[in-house]
Amino acid sequence: MAEKVTAGIVVIGNEVLSGRTADVNIPFIARRLTDVGIELREVRVVQDDEAAIAEAVLALAGKFTYVFTTGGIGPTHDDITMAAIAKAFGVRVVRDPVVEDRLRGYYGNRLVPASLRMADFPEGARVIYHDQGWAPGCMIENVAILAGSPVHMQVMFEALIPLLQQGTPLHTKTIDAWLSESRLADDLRLLQTRFETVELGSYPYKSDVGGEAKFGTAVVIRGEDGKAVEDAAAAVSAMVVELGGVLR
Amino acid sequence: MAEKVTAGIVVIGNEVLSGRTADVNIPFIARRLTDVGIELREVRVVQDDEAAIAEAVLALAGKFTYVFTTGGIGPTHDDITMAAIAKAFGVRVVRDPVVEDRLRGYYGNRLVPASLRMADFPEGARVIYHDQGWAPGCMIENVAILAGSPVHMQVMFEALIPLLQQGTPLHTKTIDAWLSESRLADDLRLLQTRFETVELGSYPYKSDVGGEAKFGTAVVIRGEDGKAVEDAAAAVSAMVVELGGVLR
């Protein structure tokens, strides 16, 4: 079996903590990591504050194979991620001449001094080039530094993916049924004991169907062994029907 | 000036980390805390794992006035939040007889043994009653334990709000303009120096306007002093116009 590859995310974002912006980067990165078999184990959202960024990045970098940061890498005074992470790793921030040239070409006469801040990286970081003209992200040690704006983040992330060690993607099946979660809880617990190599998660919901509230539950079966996942899914389906639930 | 009231959130959610579910509880809680002057300083999303939950909850409980947890409090085997937090605080999980009675009334003949798990709380926790029939959340020390399902979480949260110490709500103004972030970065930095008591955040975006990509930036001005926020907002507007931007 392949080695477990794990990850954490640090979202740098006063705008997320104030409720002004609903983060959409976490679900994007989470799905893409799941695609390539990297297990996302923890996310932290911290303020635009040098000490808070450094603490979160170092804590997760010590625990997981990779850390991805989003936010705080633009041209303005509140973009402090590069400096905070450089300081965390005890290195300087240096201007990359190749990126500087690219930015000069991209911005042309719209370039202002602050634009060139986007060519600054922690010393020793690997620049992650992409095929757009604007600024790239970078990777220092096991920490990838990405933009906060979702369009820019996604381009940077896709450029990074081929450079990462990948794991074994999990097999996943979902059994969705009209049946309240309480009704299946006792039997599902027994099934979890029977199928030890898979993880059974249950997610209740309430839907309006023709003006009437109906209760449903999605049971998600995940595991590295495809056969075990299939067997457990069949057992969950049978259990739901036995309990009087209707598969959706 | 009122004492600063701060908060952290711990999201317990394999489904968020796998990318299956996009969390909507963080933005809801973030906005409501901002409304009542409580400053949300950090969010952690952790796996449905006893040690991971305990570590995150204790870390944030030690740093902030309040911690809110979401998820993992239903009837199934993967709902381990109550047990994990009880263990973190060194207490047992005990069944609350009042909540048990309520659940028996609510579920009637749909009640199964597992349903009563939702009457279990860490010993010494304060049950946060709400006016719906289903299970309530609770508060132990400075940690409020809430549901993961957004409808349920919101009812629990609104029942909790009157019990919290509240702070001074921040004044906020947003100046939104067609102008790239790079263009205003240098001048905005100077304004930040001039208006020390406010926080200037800038958020760039790209919009399709009649098939053409246009660059805009929202500058968010926040602070406890309303007059300073108004003055800084006026200065940002003037700066934008001076730089050739168009206010939206």
Model confidence over B18-27: pLDDT tens digits? 999 999 999 9
Chain A residue closest in CA terms to B169: A18
Among A106-115, A151-160, B3-12, B158-167, the minimum mean pLDDT is found in A106-115
**Residue type for position B62:** G
Q: Which residues contact B92 (CB under 8 A, 6 or more apart)?
A: B86, B122, B123
Please give the pLDDT value at position A187. 94
Contact A185 B44 (CB under 8 A): no
Please give the pLDDT value at position A208. 84
Q: pTM, whole model, 2 decimals?
A: 0.93
Mark which residues 66-85 of B lie under 8 Å from A by CB: 74-78
DSSP E strand stretches across chain B: 5-12, 38-46, 66-70, 93-95, 120-122, 126-128, 137-140, 143-146, 171-178, 199-209, 212-223, 246-247
Task: Give per-residue pLDDT as tens, B70-108.
Answer: 999 999 999 999 999 999 999 999 999 999 999 999 999
Question: d(Cα A131, Cα A121) in Å, to the nearest integer?
Answer: 19
pLDDT at B211 over 90: no
Name the residue among B22, B182, B189 with its Cβ closest to that of A77.
Answer: B189
Please give the pLDDT value at position A62. 98
Please list every residue in chain B whose beta carbon sits closer than 8 Å to the beta carbon of residue A111. Answer: 182
Q: Is A30 on the interface with B (CB under 8 A)?
A: yes
- DSSP per residue, A43-103: EEEE-S-HHHHHHHHHHHHHHSSEEEEES--SSSTT--HHHHHHHHTT--EEE-HHHHHHH
pLDDT at A1 over 80: no
The average pLDDT across A182-205 equals 93
Q: Catalogue the long-range contacts made by B112-116 (C-beta closer than 8 Å, 24 or more residues apart).
A: B112/A182, B112/A183, B112/A185, B112/A186, B112/B75, B113/A186, B114/A182, B114/A185, B114/A186, B114/A189, B114/B75, B114/B76, B115/A182, B115/A185, B115/B75
Q: What mean pLDDT, rounded, does chain A reach?
A: 94
The average pLDDT across A163-184 equals 92
Going B75 to B80 to B81 to B84, the CA torsion angle's sign is positive
Q: Is B100 on the interface with A (CB under 8 A)?
A: no
Task: Give per-residue pLDDT as tens, A41-80.
Answer: 999 999 999 999 999 999 999 999 999 999 999 999 999 9
Q: Is A187 on the interface with B (CB under 8 A)?
A: no
Distances (CA, A) of B241 to B37, B183, B187, B191: 32, 12, 12, 15
Question: Token pair for residue A55?
Answer: 């603490």
Please list every residue in chain A whose beta carbon sits closer than 8 Å to the beta carbon of residue B17. Answer: 30, 39-43
Q: Is B115 on the interface with A (CB under 8 A)?
A: yes
Q: Is A220 on the interface with B (CB under 8 A)?
A: yes
Q: Is A184 on the interface with B (CB under 8 A)?
A: yes
Q: What mean pLDDT, rounded, does chain B reach?
A: 94
Task: Give per-residue pLDDT as tens, B33-49.
Answer: 999 999 999 999 999 99
Reported as a pLDDT band with limits 50, 70 and 90, residue B246 is very high
Q: Which residues contact A155 (CB under 8 A, 6 or more apart)?
A: A130, A132
CATH code of the region A171-247: 3.30.70
Task: Give per-residue pLDDT as tens, A115-134.
Answer: 999 999 999 999 999 988 88
Q: Is A104 on the interface with B (CB under 8 A)?
A: no
Radius of gyration of chain B (CA): 22
Please give the pLDDT value at position B222. 94
Please give the pLDDT value at position A2. 57
Question: d(Cα B222, Cα B233) in Å, to the nearest integer?
Answer: 9
- Structural domain spans, chain B: 5-163, 171-247
Contact B185 A43 (CB under 8 A): no
Reported as a pLDDT band with limits 50, 70 and 90, residue B58 is very high
Architecture label for domain A5-163: 3-Layer(aba) Sandwich (3.40)
A135: DSSP letter: -
Question: d(Cα A21, Cα B185) in Å, to the nearest integer?
Answer: 21
Name the residue among B182, B184, B220 with its Cβ closest to that of A107.
Answer: B182
**Residue type for position B150:** P
A179: DSSP letter: S
**Alpha carbon of residue B35 to chain centroid:** 11
- Exposed/middle/buried for B80, CB within 10 Å: 0-12, 13-18, 19+? middle
Please list every residue in chain A whose beta carbon sits closer than 8 Å to the beta carbon of residue B186. Answer: 112-114
Task: Give per-residue pLDDT as tens, A174-193.
Answer: 999 999 998 999 999 999 99
pLDDT at B168 over 90: no
Q: Which residues contact B109 (CB under 8 A, 6 or more apart)?
A: none
Contact B202 A111 (CB under 8 A): no
Q: Is B22 on the interface with A (CB under 8 A)?
A: yes
